[in-house]
Amino acid sequence: MKLIYITFLLFFGLIHSQEIDSSRIECKYFTKFLIDTTDISTSKEEMTSLLIGDRISLFKSDAKATFDSLSRNNVAESMRKGGNIVIDFSNIPKAYFIQEVLYKKNKATIYDKILKNVFAFESQNKINWKLIDETKTISNYICKKAVGKYGKRIVTAWYTQEIPFQEGPYNFKGLPGLIVEAYDDKNFYHFILKSLKKINKPIIPIKDCIETDYTKFSKKRHDFKEDPIGAFNVATGRTVTKDQQARIIKLHQSKNNYLE
């Protein structure tokens, strides 16, 4: 059983008093993507959620949301009782879709992680959609087609005006209706809506993070990939065997499918 020990001080930044926004609806997207675009065996499938409120939205992995919620609940209990706590994460599925996207005041903030550090930066990418005169039915919704460029990717989106939110998975937004399906030209990422319901849930952005910009984050990610063993040793204070080094290098240097 994998146990993680967490102290109150570690999570203090996550739970300090603040005004918390809430959702109006929750959209569940089945998300399929590749870790390594040269290796089909690295394909991952994960459920992700888009919480949409009046002034804000948040997109994140369900597995990651479960992990974060369990952490917050146990920290609250620790505050009530005092002392350290023990949390069992062994039954929580591993989250492979690490990024979160917070959209507020027409600005998308991307949260991404390098080892234990979470970084927050404003997205450099924004799609200028071209509306296409084509329709199809997806999940019982009549959808229209749109195409746009996101970074170096060409993204196709199918949106429905039956749900009047200019929202969608990840940072794909700005169409005259909710995006029901989205995928890039090489199908390295594919999102499809599986369910939608009205629900009031707190939308809690990550607070314990390092504020930066995309250029600095990209350089740090590149430097980490160039020397993952050195970064691992600095972060953990541990040395690793040659076999462990080979696994760490393969794990991190093979990651190349970044949306940002």
Q: Extract the tokens encoding 28.
A: 């569940």
Q: Extract the tokens encoding 260.
A: 């940002």
pLDDT at residue 37 above 50? yes
In a domain, 148, yes or no: yes
Give the H or E element holding residue 26.
strand 21-34
Q: What is the pLDDT of residue 89?
A: 60
Domain interval for residue 156: 3-19+28-49+59-102+125-203
Mean pLDDT of 159-168: 97
In a domain, 34, yes or no: yes
Same domain, 194 and 98: yes
In a domain, 92, yes or no: yes
Same domain, 135 and 246: no
Same domain, 186 and 221: no
Q: What is the pLDDT of residue 57?
A: 98
In a domain, 83, yes or no: yes
pLDDT at residue 16 above 50? no
Confidence bin at 80 (pLDDT 50/70/90): low
pLDDT digits over 240-253, tens only? 787 877 777 777 77
Q: What is the pLDDT of residue 140?
A: 92
Residues 77, 71: Cα–Cα separation, whole Å: 10
Work out the number of other CB atoms within 10 angstroms of the CB of residue 91: 8
In a domain, 110, yes or no: no
Same domain, 151 and 227: no
Q: What is the pLDDT of residue 15?
A: 40
pLDDT digits over 173-209, tens only? 999 999 999 999 999 999 999 999 999 999 988 988 9
Same domain, 193 and 224: no
In a domain, 117, yes or no: no
Same domain, 145 and 184: yes
pLDDT digits over 88-146, tens only? 666 667 899 999 999 999 999 999 999 889 999 999 999 999 999 999 999 899 999 99
Same domain, 179 and 234: no
Residues 6+ apart with CB under 8 A from 214: 110, 121, 122, 123, 124, 260
Same domain, 38 and 147: yes
pLDDT at residue 259 above 80? yes
In a domain, 109, yes or no: no
pTM equals 0.84
Q: What is the pLDDT of residue 153?
A: 97
Residue among 128, 178, 188 at smallest CA distance from 158: 178
In a domain, 111, yes or no: no
Q: What is the pLDDT of residue 88?
A: 61
Confidence bin at 24 (pLDDT 50/70/90): very high
- Phi, psi for residue 110 in degrees, rounded to 5: -100, 130
pLDDT digits over 51-76, tens only? 999 999 999 999 998 887 776 555 55
Q: What is the pLDDT of residue 169?
A: 98
DSSP 136-175: EEETTEEEEEEEEEETTEEEEEEEETTS-----STT---S
Same domain, 153 and 45: yes
Same domain, 145 and 237: no
Same domain, 44 and 141: yes
Mean pLDDT of 41-49: 97
Q: How many domains does the chain have?
A: 2
